[in-house]
Structure 1
């Protein structure tokens, strides 16, 4: 216990100094305080209740009975309710069947409890139009969280632990006790005769956090009694550095992303690797956050720094193509110097169009192939790989424009024999996702005449001025030619 009331006041002054350092002013705030009845939250409630004498702000208490321990946990709820009634503090509570939620969701007891608890907090904040949710996480919680996340291999901002302030609902979560350790809070409770309730599950070694709490944190405190203050300072520095690097990475995103839509982000590997390594890591984090949030899912806990390392191995490796499986069905697919992050396999739309005479074929992607008979095209021999010309007398209609088929081969102009279409795509470094939708032009006998933009068959005629020709022209949507 404290040796004097002066030491109790010192704790309150420490919290007040911490709030001033964070430029968090209590005046005028409408606060919802999450109170379990344990030492941390009860001390927080008592501190805020006392501050109302000096500052003009309002507090409402929210309590959740998770229904793990029957009447014992219900009695804890009634204890908190009575504590608030004596002090005239508005009180809201709910009973949530977390064990049933665990069965339905397949999530752990701790994750399920947290999700249910925060759902109730959000509901009360919305109903009462409150600005802030105040929680009692303290300095020892900060140490535990940071070490747990490092142990699990977390990356980016997650390594910075618990933030003092973060957005929640239409307001914020704020944590005034991050400057205190557990012993200070226990002594504060004793000095003020708060008589908090104890959850026996906090002593079970089955939970990772409890093992850090019982064995790791005490070891660090024996080395330095102010270790929680150093961890808090380190957390704040990490958050500041991370915010700065995130802003730089966000600016670089436009130079890296070739496509960005719900469920799919495509990046240019060359542009990506032109960035500094710290920015590369954070661009990957931004991509992952974007994709998981778009699916209305929380970023999976199983996603860790090792996944990022595997991604770098994929794009830096000697193989031109490959793929990775990330949590919750996210795939990372490399194809030459392009990389896709996608939840669903990249689908290509097959097509098969027949032209019985000159006309226009519009492809699913908006590109078009124009077929015309003409003898008035100047410089026909200089029109390049996006045109193909043949003698009308050699044409076997209908002309077919389709996607590739297994075993496709074609004869190449100026070469003997035939080559597989697959081999041509590989030689030309055509990305995997583009091969399935690349147009293949054949005649009515199935002979491949042309791969637009890539190769022409031996059927292409030589240019002779004034000679009639069937002219094929490939036009890309949105491009002037």
Structure 2
């Protein structure tokens, strides 16, 4: 049997407290939600924070999520966790969920569905109690496993950064997830529990090699430690910290560039190709990764995808690369656009707009970033400031109460008066296409466009409309 390195009780606690203070994971008076599975790691976390409760004046609530898997073993873990909290006088909450059904419904693995349920439960209970901190029990071996798993999947700097010791869970940052045990080895955690006579539950699924993480934990990491370097896990975890600092630096650089480029629009990102080409390759890759992340995260995004998008920078307008989760990257004039394929609110679709009356004809419209092309001066093509258009587009006949903006002050005029001034014969006025956005008239085709939607020096996106007879 492998000899377990014993760490004295007080030194173990002191080391974790030092990590908590260095990383600023807890503040005085925090209400902490602890994810308690009953395994060695979460039991250790619960007991350590209980020992530190008075020092930080903590309020503690433990949450156990029953996944509806593993039958009697799961029931045993639930009972064990409840009894441990009763013994330590800690508030205990249990949540039951049918994870297999959830996974099937949302086309997720049971591992992904289980994680989603846990964090949704933690967040719900935190908000319910006004808690600001959720503590989970990832440790150094988990960190090493994550880094190796991400490397094998083709991840870059972000993947090699591994698990953060602290991250915001909510959009406004009022709830954070912290990992106080991230500086401790698994063997040290188990040794401390043994030293203190504390039992824990064993999840038998962790002993199988059914998942990639399990194979890394049970086969790859032990091989690296026994055959190459006994401190392999520590070195990998320490390297992840360096990667994390590099990732933070690149993120700051990327955000500064994104801000200066004004490239975010809803779930679409527009990057200027010329400026993107001027960046160092490592920053190019990171910028593209961040742009993809803005459209829905980077799950399943690999280096191959990033390099494929970089390859678009030397191609012409219309070139496109498909990305995971129904996303795409494409070149449009001097911009690289990354977007959801379902980025299709009515006004943003590039398609023919058929009028209710076929006599009016049809209009084809497209949306693209402002460029140096000359604004067309023809009766059947017009450019509009897309950012001023707030509702869906419709090509239709004129209506009795229609008015159009005629000057910068916002004054309007009846469409009938506009047509009279333009000497349009009365018999033809109902046949002239009218482009409208909701009740607002943007264009009397071939006659005039509204003043409040014209291209200006502040225009970012152009709506080009072509009428086709």
Select the structure of larger CA radius of gyration.
Answer: 1
**Structure 2 match to 1:215:** 219
| Superposition pairs of residues 144-293 of structure 1, within 5 angstroms | 144-169=145-170, 170-222=174-226, 223-256=228-261, 260-292=264-296
Tell me, yes or no, if the aligned pair for 1:256 and 1:269 is still in contact at 8 Å. Answer: no
State the distance in 2 between where 1:137 and 1:178 align. 6
Corresponding residue SS for 1:178:
coil
**Structure 1 match to 2:44:** 43
Q: Deviations over 1:192-218 (max 9, x none)?
A: 121101111001111100100011111
C-alpha deviation, 1:386, in angstroms? 5.9
Tell me, yes or no, if the aligned pair for 1:67 and 1:74 is still in contact at 8 Å. Answer: no
2:313 paired residue among 312, 315, 319: 315
State the distance in 2 between where 1:82 and 1:385 align. 74
Corresponding residue SS for 2:14:
helix
State the distance in 2 between where 1:155 and 1:205 align. 25
State the distance in 1 between where 2:222 and 2:239 align. 19
Give the paired residue count: 368
1:70 aligns with 2:71: yes
Q: Which runs of 5+ in 2 are unaligned?
A: 356-362, 368-373, 383-445, 458-469
**Structure 1 match to 2:455:** 478
Indicate how the Cα distance of structure 1 residues 261 and 71 shifts in structure 2: closer, same or farther if over 3 A, else same.
same
C-alpha deviation, 1:8, in angstroms? 3.2
Indicate how the Cα distance of structure 1 residues 48 and 333 shifts in structure 2: closer, same or farther if over 3 A, else same.
same
| Bigger mean CA offset, 224-233 vs 237-246 | 224-233
C-alpha deviation, 1:126, in angstroms? 0.7
| Bigger mean CA offset, 7-16 vs 69-78 | 7-16
| Superposition pairs of residues 395-414 of structure 1, within 5 angstroms | 401=380
Tell me, yes or no, if the aligned pair for 2:289 and 2:298 is still in contact at 8 Å. Answer: no
C-alpha deviation, 1:97, in angstroms? 0.7
Indicate how the Cα distance of structure 1 residues 41 and 473 shifts in structure 2: closer, same or farther if over 3 A, else same.
closer
**Structure 2 match to 1:348:** 350
State the distance in 1 between where 2:223 and 2:354 align. 71
State the distance in 1 between where 2:187 and 2:364 align. 71
State the distance in 2 between where 1:162 and 1:188 align. 23
1:305 aligns with 2:310: no
TM-score w.r.t. length of structure 2: 0.71
Tell me, yes or no, if the aligned pair for 1:144 and 1:209 is still in contact at 8 Å. Answer: yes
Corresponding residue SS for 2:274:
helix
Q: Deviations over 1:42-91 (max 9, x none)?
A: 11111111222544212111000111022320221111101110111110
C-alpha deviation, 1:312, in angstroms? 1.1
**Structure 2 match to 1:23:** 24
State the distance in 1 between where 2:339 and 2:352 align. 20
State the distance in 2 between where 1:122 and 1:402 align. 52
C-alpha deviation, 1:256, in angstroms? 4.5
C-alpha deviation, 1:284, in angstroms? 1.2
C-alpha deviation, 1:286, in angstroms? 2.3
Indicate how the Cα distance of structure 1 residues 401 and 142 shifts in structure 2: closer, same or farther if over 3 A, else same.
same
State the distance in 2 between where 1:67 and 1:116 align. 11
Tell me, yes or no, if the aligned pair for 2:350 and 2:365 is still in contact at 8 Å. Answer: no
Q: Deviations over 1:373-431 (max 9, x none)?
A: xxxxxxxxxxx99668xxxxxxxxxxx7269xxxxxxxxxxxxxxxxxxxxxxxxxxxx
Aligned CA RMSD, in angstroms, stands at 3.1
**Structure 1 match to 2:433:** none
Tell me, yes or no, if the aligned pair for 2:319 and 2:331 is still in contact at 8 Å. Answer: yes
| Superposition pairs of residues 353-392 of structure 1, within 5 angstroms | none
TM-score w.r.t. length of structure 1: 0.69
C-alpha deviation, 1:19, in angstroms? 1.9
Q: Deviations over 1:232-279 (max 9, x none)?
A: 33222222221122111111124545x542243333211211222222
C-alpha deviation, 1:3, in angstroms? 7.8
C-alpha deviation, 1:347, in angstroms? 3.6
User: Could you list the runs of 4 or more consecutive aligned residues of structure 1 that deviate by over 6 angstroms after TM superposition?
Assistant: 1-4, 362-366, 471-476
State the distance in 1 between where 2:89 and 2:99 align. 30
